[in-house]
Amino acid sequence: MSSKELLNYDHIVIGSGLAGLFTAVQLSKLGTVAVITKRGVDESNTKYAQGGIACVMDKEDSFREHVKDTMIAGDHLCKEDVVMTIVENGPAAVNELIELGAHFTTRGEMGHSDDGKDYDLGREGGHNKRRVLHAGDITGEEVEKILINTCRSNRNITFFEYHIAIDLVTTSRLGWLGEDSVLGAYVLDIKKNLVKAFTSLSVTVATGGAGKVYLYSSNPDIACGDGVAMCYRAHVPIANMEFFQFHPTILYHPTVKSFLISEAVRGEGAILKRHDARGNLVEFMDRYHEMKSLAPRDIVARAIDNELKRSGQNCAFLDIRHKSEEFLKLRFPNIFEKCLEVGINMAKDPIPVVPAAHYCCGGVKTDINGFTGINGLYAVGEVASTGLHGANRLASNSLLEALVVAKLAAKDIKSKIKVLSDTRASGKIPTWRSGNATNSDEQVVLTHNWDEIRRFMWDYVGIFRTNKRLERAKNRIKNIRREIEKYYWDFLITQDLVELRNIASVAEIIIDSAMNRKESRGLHFNADYPQREPEMDYVDTVIQQPYT
């Protein structure tokens, strides 16, 4: 497989969630933008975000209190200056989104007796104030729709749907001397089975999360950790990948796949319960944390996992039956409808739930501007590790980070346009060459490796870890990665192969990060090192592929 097609744009954005699309909007003011997305443009983690955007919008709240809640959730690993910058810049970024047409639920729409202009601010786990802007319980879908429409009407933005980025092209990859810079990317046109070379002044990686590394996940099938893997191969440092957030409450039902029951349900008073020996539903979170069912996600997920393993039960339950059906339909229309489809009426029945892999708090190490250290290369959104989330993300801080860092990244790129232009003018990238690779009839190899990785990651590198489990996972991933790399060079590139290669790479980074952190902190719990070590406060775990 080879291609002589070379596409030139001023800027490339890889990914079409909130982070990618909002970055594209900002960069379109500087020149042409290619948005590369491996499914339809509307398929992203953002689309499935139910809760909302955490932002100080009420006079009873303050930046300092939002920072404090974020720092507590992050368990002594957040960068306070980064947290403050993102929190302080939040209202302006949210207001820009509103100006583009995004609508957030008001108090009037929720039936409160005011003029309807104030926003109905939700409260979620770890927050001590109501500060979560939401559009019912489909906030992600609302903002995604607005940004897609904005981008489609922008002449400077071009979508490349059903295109998957294979690898970044950097000056070091081409053997150039001097400071490393990004020149573009190799991209597979999935429908045409053709590899294209894209060149640009800047590349922003906004590929979202990596939930599909695990057997059970709230993420859509696209969340394969592509951006982390590509940046790792480009020698960018990857930080804190041991901190993978497991959402405590995914709907437990045999006919429903990966449906999230938003933390906002607990924010409105839902209580986590399980069956006691007599079959009665009883509360249990009061034994784990002073905030009970509103404790931070890592504590809630581990508590549910422990209760289920100890009792042998299949699921826990969210009980919000003390709220009226009218309120629940108004506040959670999507969740109410989905539960009703499987015979669960939230106003009358407790909701069966289990934890699942949800959000990657680590990622490509960047500064507050999303800059990776390689000239022209930026990472924004869940794929990045700015220092905001630390060891555990505070609920609904992720969409806030995506908005703010997208604006800061575009500003930083603008300030460096002259340098980036000079690098681009110094040479072109070669077109893709597949060498002696042939077609493969061994799809079963990819499927088997994919399933094996996801299963041992869930069993050995999940909510509860031990040294022995991590060692077993490490031994398995080393062998699988050798198989995949050989397969990669011997056979022609396909989407399945690209994703498998990335999942294997990210799995090994998570395993290595978990093995390197010899303590328990936030989302990382190792039974052999159950205590937090104070000397590790504010110390990142960094994995980097060395230059050879």
C-alpha distances in Å from residue 521, one per residue of 84, 177, 213: 22, 41, 21
**Token pair in block for residue 279:** 């079959």
Helix axes 397-415, 80-99, angle to 10 degrees: 90
Please name which of 165, 231, 36 lies closest in space to residue 432, comparing C-alpha atoms.
165
**Token pair in block for residue 110:** 């929720």
Which three-class secondary structure string do you get for 457-488? HHHHCCCCECHHHHHHHHHHHHHHHHHHHHHH
Which of these is catalytic: 297, 476, 517, 521?
297
How far apart, in whole angstroms, are the C-alpha atoms of residue 27 and residue 11? 7
Element (H, E) at 328: helix 325-331
Backbone angles phi, psi at 219, to 5 degrees: -80, 155
**Residue 437 banded pLDDT, cuts 50, 70, 90:** low
Please tell me the least confidently modeled range out of 17-21, 43-47, 203-207, 300-304: 43-47
Any idea where the domains of the chain sit in the sequence? 1-243+361-548, 249-356
Residue 149: Cβ within 10 Å count: 12
Which three-class secondary structure string do you get for 361-404? CCEEECCCCCECCCECEEECCCCEECCCCCCCCCCCHHHHHHHH
Cβ-proximal residues to 335 (8 Å cutoff; 6+ apart), any chain: 50, 137, 261, 262, 265, 346
pTM exceeds 0.75, yes or no: yes
Clarify whether 297 is annotated catalytic: yes
The SS3 of residue 21 is helix
Q: State the pairing for strand pair 202-205/11-14.
A: parallel
At residue 193's C-alpha, the angle toward residues 192 and 199, to 5°, is 90
Residue 401: per-residue pLDDT? 97
Query: pLDDT tens digits for 511-526?
Result: 999 999 999 999 999 9
Q: What's at 393, amino acid-wise?
A: R
Q: Does 205 score more than 80 pLDDT?
A: yes
How far apart, in whole angstroms, are the C-alpha atoms of residue 398 and residue 388? 9
Query: pLDDT tens digits for 321-335?
Result: 999 999 999 999 989
Cβ-proximal residues to 418 (8 Å cutoff; 6+ apart), any chain: none
- Structural fold of domain 1-243+361-548: FAD/NAD(P)-binding domain (3.50.50)
Which top CATH class is 249-356? alpha beta
Query: pLDDT tens digits for 71-122?
Result: 999 999 999 999 999 999 999 999 999 999 999 988 887 777 665 568 889 8
**Token pair in block for residue 320:** 């919000």
Q: Is the dihedral of CA 447, 448, 454, 458 positive or negative?
A: positive
**Token pair in block for residue 453:** 């990785």
Cross-strand bridge partners of residue 14 = 36, 205
Residue 428: per-residue pLDDT? 75
Tell me the H-state helices in 50-184: 63-73, 80-99, 139-152
Please tell me the least confidently modeled range out of 226-235, 272-281, 291-300, 484-493: 484-493
How far apart, in whole angstroms, are the C-alpha atoms of residue 38 and residue 114? 45
